[in-house]
Amino acid sequence: MPEEVTGPPEERADQLLREARRELSAAPFTPSLREATLLLGRVLGLDEAPLLARGERVVTAGEAARFRRLLQRRLRGEPVAYLLGEREFYGRSFRVDRRVLIPRPESEHLVEALLERRSTLPERPRLLDIGTGSGCLAVTLALELANSRVVATDLSPGALAVAAGNARRLGACARMSFVATDLEAALGEGELFDIVLSNPPYVAEGDRDRLSIEITDFEPPQALYAEQGGVAILLRLAALAARRLVPGGWLACEIGDGQIAALTSGFARVAPELEWAEVRKDYAGKPRTVILRRQPR
Ligand SMILES: C[S@@+](CC[C@H](N)C(=O)[O-])C[C@H]1O[C@@H](n2cnc3c(N)ncnc32)[C@H](O)[C@@H]1O
Expressed in angstroms and rounded, the spacing between residue 225 Cα and the centre of ligand 1 is: 10
Q: What is the pLDDT of residue 10?
A: 78
| Closest protein CA for atom 24 of ligand 1 | 223
Pair 215, 178 in one domain: yes
Expressed in angstroms and rounded, the spacing between residue 70 Cα and the centre of ligand 1 is: 28
The 10 Å Cβ neighbour count of residue 232 is 17
Domain-embedded: residue 88? no
Pair 166, 55 in one domain: no
Mutate to test the pocket of ligand 1, among 86, 96, 99, 101 (most ligand atoms within 8 A of CB): 101
Mutate to test the pocket of ligand 1, among 104, 111, 132 (most ligand atoms within 8 A of CB): 132
Contact between 99 and 159 under an 8 Å Cβ cutoff? The reply is yes
Contact between 56 and 67 under an 8 Å Cβ cutoff? The reply is no
**How far lies 228's CA from each of 220, 225, 264, in Å?**
19, 10, 15
The CATH number of whichever domain residue 18 belongs to comes to 1.10.8.10
Domain-embedded: residue 85? no
Report DSSP state, residue 4: P
Q: What is the pLDDT of residue 29?
A: 84
| Closest protein CA for atom 6 of ligand 1 | 132
Q: What is the pLDDT of residue 51?
A: 87
Pair 142, 286 in one domain: yes
Q: Cβ < 6 Å from ligand 1: which residues?
A: 100-101, 103, 107, 130-134, 136-137, 153-156, 159, 182-183, 199-201, 222-223
Expressed in angstroms and rounded, the spacing between residue 53 Cα and the centre of ligand 1 is: 41
Contact between 192 and 213 under an 8 Å Cβ cutoff? The reply is no
SS3 80: helix
The 10 Å Cβ neighbour count of residue 84 is 17
The CATH number of whichever domain residue 215 belongs to comes to 3.40.50.150
Pair 216, 268 in one domain: yes
Q: What is the pLDDT of residue 279?
A: 97
Query: Which residues form the domain of 219?
Result: 97-294
Pair 134, 50 in one domain: no
Contact between 292 and 248 under an 8 Å Cβ cutoff? The reply is no
Beta-strand ranges (E) seen in the chain are 11-12, 58-59, 86-89, 92-95, 126-130, 149-154, 176-180, 193-198, 203-204, 225-226, 245-254, 274-281, 287-294
Pair 162, 263 in one domain: yes
Number of domains in the chain: 2
The percent of the chain in helix, strand and coil, each rounded to the nearest 5, is 45, 20, 35
Domain-embedded: residue 51? yes
Pair 170, 225 in one domain: yes
User: Which ligand 1 atom sits nearest the alpha carbon of residue 224?
Assistant: 1
Residue 121 one-letter amino acid: L
Tell me the chain's radius of gyration from C-alpha atoms.
Answer: 22
The 10 Å Cβ neighbour count of residue 33 is 12
Contact between 275 and 295 under an 8 Å Cβ cutoff? The reply is yes
Query: pLDDT in tens for each of the 297 residues of the chain?
Result: 555 656 567 799 999 999 999 999 999 888 888 999 999 999 999 988 888 888 888 999 999 999 999 999 999 999 999 999 999 999 999 999 999 999 999 999 999 999 999 999 999 999 999 999 999 999 999 999 999 999 999 999 999 999 999 999 999 999 999 999 999 999 999 999 999 999 999 999 899 999 999 999 999 999 999 999 999 999 999 999 999 999 999 999 999 999 999 999 999 999 999 999 999 999 889 999 999 999 987
Do you know the residue count of the chain? 297
Contact between 135 and 197 under an 8 Å Cβ cutoff? The reply is no
Q: Which of 173, 90, 79 is nearest to 137 (CA)?
A: 90
Pair 153, 30 in one domain: no
Pair 69, 113 in one domain: no
Contacts of 79 (CB under 8 A, 6+ apart): 102, 214, 218, 219
Contact between 101 and 223 under an 8 Å Cβ cutoff? The reply is yes
Mutate to test the pocket of ligand 1, among 98, 127, 154 (most ligand atoms within 8 A of CB): 154
Give, for 265, the enclosing helix (H) or strand (E): helix 260-270
| Closest protein CA for atom 27 of ligand 1 | 133
CA–CA gap between residue 19 and residue 218 (Å, rounded)? 25
